[in-house]
Structure 1
């Protein structure tokens, strides 16, 4: 799907908010502990990462997985001045909320552009306008639970329209598939919403038009898998997975640089 540039992270027009606002815990994902509101040691004066090209090798793979959906540059533009020029606590608190609103816009954009959603397109467009409007006002007052619930109803209907009626074996919503061996499995049009696919073997699997919203794909083997047309896939999900040059991903996503 064509994705508005406003929903893609643009670090060049952001005050490095994710490098300051978020908490790092020393682990396999982060080489250091960092408190929320404390600038990362790798953040430069120009708000760019000093080790961006070697984050994984330097012990920061968690940074390569994170995607703000364009929330960082939106907040930076709205604020006009950085957290270095004025206290940034409100900007830092707003980042996770703005990110979730932009994530909803990503899903709604995906849904609105599907030919199968013609019956609910007017509702999708209305929801898109509503959520976009929320991002242009102080977001700290937004009732996220209410907004997510309202959008989710439309996304569920979208999934049903796109995937059609499927057999029970393809209804795997929230399934625990951690480490599952599903290489070359036919999961086309499957409902994998919220499924736990951590370190699962999906090499060569058919995931065309599958619903993958909220699925945990950390270290999932997607080498040779086909995700053409898969519903609601995000950059964070593919960044967290393992793939290769033969992995087919939705056109809206960028191929992760660590995939071989």
Structure 2
């Protein structure tokens, strides 16, 4: 479930659209290669993305979907070698990315000891989705991703509740809350429900987020210096990449400290 850009045909730089904004210096339509994509499918400004006005690229994570589409779905033959496959690759990649994200969450469920009551169903869902990721391009493009997401989300809700139950006492429920710019420095958010919460530019300096359910929480520019995220549930690398932390931020062992964070 980890991106391997060296085994991908630069699909995130081709298939996905982006609009000129604070995240992207230029407009780009879906299916058209980014002007910074080199012939070897590497980014020509990778080390300078933020300086060149492309911080949005540093946040994106495909959960390993890029190499799956490139090496499995299309057998290692790139859209440059076979131009007639370019459109199909662009259609399949966003689908695969969503399926791989679900696989990431389901794998995490299987690693949660307190979520054992849903492990059997999670394993079944994971196996079904894994089989789908190995289907032909036509079957993948036709996949009913919203229906699959809805089924998996039921399992994730149950798993999150079981895991958060280890925190005793009353826990904060900020599910879907608008906490943009909120002052939450030092807040006790142990076992909190932050699913889908808007935490854009929120001050979470020194906050205790242990065992908090973070799925879908928007952490863009959220300040995480000194925050404790160990044991947090369903936190992803993309969320951390979008936030602002430092060396004092405590992270789960499965995630890495973003290179652009303060020393």
What TM-score does the superposition give when structure 2 sets the normalisation length?
A: 0.94
- 1:39 corresponds to which residue? 33
- 1:3 corresponds to which residue? none
Structure 1 CA distance for aligned equivalents of residues 105 and 237 of structure 2: 12
Displacement after TM superposition at 1:254 (Å)? 1.6
Mean alpha-carbon deviation: is it higher for 102-111 or for 33-42?
33-42
Do structure 1's residue 159 and structure 2's residue 142 form an aligned pair?
no
Segments of structure 1 that go 5 or more residues without pairing to the other structure are 1-6
Displacement after TM superposition at 1:167 (Å)? 5.8
Contact 1:166 1:190 in 2 (8 A): no
1:73 partner SS: helix
- 1:219 corresponds to which residue? 221
Residues 1:243 and 1:109: Cα distance change in structure 2 (over 3 Å): same
Contact 2:171 2:190 in 1 (8 A): no
Segments of structure 2 that go 5 or more residues without pairing to the other structure are none
- 1:19 corresponds to which residue? 13
Alignment of 1:96-135 (within 5 A): 96-135=94-133
Structure 2 CA distance for aligned equivalents of residues 67 and 121 of structure 1: 26
Structure 2 CA distance for aligned equivalents of residues 10 and 212 of structure 1: 25
Displacement after TM superposition at 1:214 (Å)? 0.3
- 1:253 corresponds to which residue? 255
Structure 1's consecutive aligned runs of 4 or more residues displaced over 2 angstroms after TM superposition are 165-169
2:201 partner SS: coil
Displacement after TM superposition at 1:249 (Å)? 1.2
CA RMSD of aligned residues (A): 1.2
Aligned residues: 254
Residues 1:52 and 1:169: Cα distance change in structure 2 (over 3 Å): same
- 1:83 corresponds to which residue? 79
- 2:44 corresponds to which residue? 50
- 2:235 corresponds to which residue? 233
